[in-house]
Structure 1
C-alpha cells in the first residue's frame, strides 16, 4: 500500500534509461516573462515589482556590506526557481522535482558549503565568535560550542528536508483523498471536490511560502559569515 502511494514521486518515465521526468525542473524557464525581450507591459511591471521588493528585503537582511546589493540576486533567483518547480508539481502528470532530496540537497549543500568556506577563510574570528553566544557562563562554553557546531552542520539538511517534506505531505494528502473517491456515495462527491479545491489552494500557498522560507533562511545564513 505504501509502496503504491509513494510511487507517485518516482521519476519512472524514461527513454533509453534516461529519467525524463527530471526535465520538468527546466519547465520553469517557460514562466520567464516574454516582456524581458519585448515591449514592457503590466505583466513585466508586476514581475519587476516583486523582484525589487525581494531585492530590498534580502538587502536589509544581508546588511550594509560591499557585496550585499549584488548578492541578493542569488537568493532572488533561487526563490523563483523553487517557486516555479513547486507550482509545476501541482499540475497533473508533471513530476515534482522539489519533492526529492536529490534536488533540494543539490541547492542547499553547495550554498551552505560556500558560506562556510568564505566565512572561515576570510572572517575566522567572526565565525569563532558565533560559536559562543554573548553572556555564556564559562562552564557551559564547551557545550555551547558543541551545540552551535552541530546546529551549523545540519543546516543544509534542515533546509532540504523542510522543502521536501512540505511538498510531499500535501501531494500525499491529495492523493489519499482522491483515492477514496470511488468509495464515496454520489451525494458526497461534491464535498470531496470542495475539499480537494481547498487543498489545492493550500498547496499553492505552501509553494510560495516554502520558496520564500528557503530564500530567507539562506540569506540569514549568508549574513552570519560577513
Structure 2
C-alpha cells in the first residue's frame, strides 16, 4: 500500500528488493552481440551462416523474391538435433520419419502450391526436359511427375536412414565389448572413435544436403 506520494520512488518499498532490476532490463532488449565480446563459437557460427547465406542466394537466383532465412533456420535446427543425438541417452529426433517428413512435406507442398498457382506454364515446362523427342514426351511427363512427387519422401528418408545406419553400427559394436578379449578392446575403442568422427561428419553433411535440396526445389518454382 502506498504510504505517501513519493513512496514509489523509494527502492526499499519492495520486500524482495527487485526495484533496481528495471535498470538492467534494457540488456534483455539489446542483442548480446552489441554488448558482449563475441566468443569463438559465435564467430564460427556467424561465418558458417554467412557462407551458407551467400550460397543459398546464388541457388535461389536473382529473380527469387524469397529469403534464405528459412533454409538457414532449417539447417541450424537439423544440425543441432543431429549432434544432440550423438550424446549418450539423448533421443535422436532426426532419425525418425515423423520428424523429417514434418519438415520436408509442408515445405515441398508450399513450393508446389505456389508454383502451380503463380507460374503454371513454367511448372508445365519443367515436366518435359529441353530437347526431348516428341515420341518420348508422354513418358517423360510421367517420369518427371513421379520424381517430383517422391521428393519429400527422399528428403525425409535420406536424413533418417543415414542417421539410423550410423547409430545402429555404433550400438552393435558397443554391445560386443563385454564379450571381447582385452587385447581387442583397444581396437574396438579406436573403431568407435573413428565412427564417432564419421557420424559427426554425417550430421553436418546431411543437414547441409537437406537445406541445399530444399533451396533447389524452391528455385525451380520461380
1:46-195 → structure 2 map (5 Å cutoff): 46-68=44-66, 71-195=67-191
Cα RMSD (Å): 1.3
Alpha-carbon distance in 1 for matches of 2:196, 2:205: 14
- Contact (CA 8 Å) 1:35, 1:44: kept in 2 or not? no
Alpha-carbon distance in 2 for matches of 1:37, 1:181: 50
**Residues 91 and 155 (structure 1 numbering): CA distance in 2 closer, same or farther, change over 3 Å?**
same
Alignment deviations for residues 102-155 of structure 1 (CA, whole Å, 9 cap, x no partner): 000000000000000000000000000000001101110000000000000000
- Quick check: which has more Rg, 1 or 2? 2
Post-superposition offset of 1:43: 2.9
Are positions 1:196 and 2:192 aligned together? yes
Which of the residues 24, 32, 36 maps onto 1:39? 36
**Residues 117 and 202 (structure 1 numbering): CA distance in 2 closer, same or farther, change over 3 Å?**
same
Alpha-carbon distance in 2 for matches of 1:184, 1:199: 19
TM-score, normalised with respect to structure 1? 0.82
Post-superposition offset of 1:49: 1.2
Post-superposition offset of 1:45: 2.2
TM-score, normalised with respect to structure 2? 0.83
Alignment deviations for residues 35-83 of structure 1 (CA, whole Å, 9 cap, x no partner): 5575141332222111111000000000002524xx2111011001000
Are positions 1:212 and 2:208 aligned together? yes
Q: What's the secondary structure of 1:65's corresponding residue?
A: coil
Poorly superposed stretches of 4+, deviation over 4 Å: 34-38
